[in-house]
Amino acid sequence: MSEVFTGFWVIAHRELLRLLRERARLVSTFAIPIFTLIIFGAGFNRIVTDLDSDVDLVQFMFPGVVCMGVAVTCMFAGLSVVWDREFGFLKMVLVAPLNRIGVALGKAAGGAAVATVQGLIILAFMPVVGLSLDGLAFLKLFLVLILMAATLSCLGILVASRMRSQQGFHGVVEMLLFPLLFFSGIFFPVDRVPTWLGVIAKLNPITYGVDAARQVVLESQAGSALAGNAPLSAGNGALGVTVFGHTMAVWEDALVLAAFGVVVVVTAAWSFSRQE
């Protein structure tokens, strides 16, 4: 157990320092969700009117955009594995007296930590779109972001463990990210789309992270609005993914995401342990 922890700590510390030094990468992954919110949210806010009257498109999209920033950073965190393999550093790590499972988890933890911080920074824009969080809601959202970051970082490591070039990794990750993000309910309520699209979205684990974050943010906003005698409605399918007739609560969304995370973590650790 100590060998796993040692490998985890050494690699996680290295990955965290490395990611923090890559300022261009941090800025680009931070800019993507902000531009998405501006272009899709502000651009289509007056065109799309099918949401509840008290929740505009920008407010509806904002929690999903936060999750988008986390997802992009986490998925590309696996790039360090491919980079280390190309330049021979990975071989040095694998022959060192470090547990390979700890190495894999350490790489994922570094990316997850940076992604979570980036998600929290994006939350600073909440007042701009007319949203706010109380203390308990902030804690819930923080835990949701950590869970999503850990899960997707391990998914990125799993993909990277099978790649031999940075170009190949970029191609596969971009191919995965596009459907994962666009079929996750960031831009539309999952329960208001055609059946076939709803089925795809509900098979997407990111959907449950986005839904959990959206429920936490908009329900907290609804509580604040009620306190000011200005109720905010987010019903009629805007909140909560319906699975087999049951509307998922935040803890149920988190449970689904955690179950997927366990599968990905185990698979990534197994794949990484078989590296030569």
**Model confidence pLDDT, tens digit, residues 248-275:** 999 999 999 999 988 988 888 788 767 6
Residue 223: domain span? 2-273
Q: Max CA-CA distance within the chain? A: 64
Q: Which residues of 10-46 are buried (b: 16+ CB within 10 A; e: fewer)?
A: bbbebbbeebeeeeebbeebbeebeebbeebbeeebe
Give percent of the chain above pLDDT 90: 22
Helix, strand, or coil here: 184?
coil
Residue where the block lists tokens 């799309």? 48
> Rounded to the nearest 5°, which phi and psi values hold at 187?
-105, -5
Q: Are the beta carbons of 160 and 79 closer than 8 angstroms?
A: yes
Read off the pLDDT of each residue in 40-69 and give the average, rounded to a whole number. 72
Q: Is the pLDDT of residue 116 over 80?
A: yes
Which of 53-57, 137-141, 167-171 is the least confident region?
Answer: 53-57
The pLDDT of residue 56 is above 90 = no
Per-chain mean pLDDT for the chain: 78
Task: Identify the band that residue 93 occupies on the pLDDT scale cut at 50, 70 and 90.
Answer: low
- Confidence tier at 89 by pLDDT (50, 70, 90): low
Comparison of pLDDT for 249 and 111, the residue scoring more: 249
Is the pTM here over 0.85, yes or no?
Answer: no
Domain count of the chain? 1
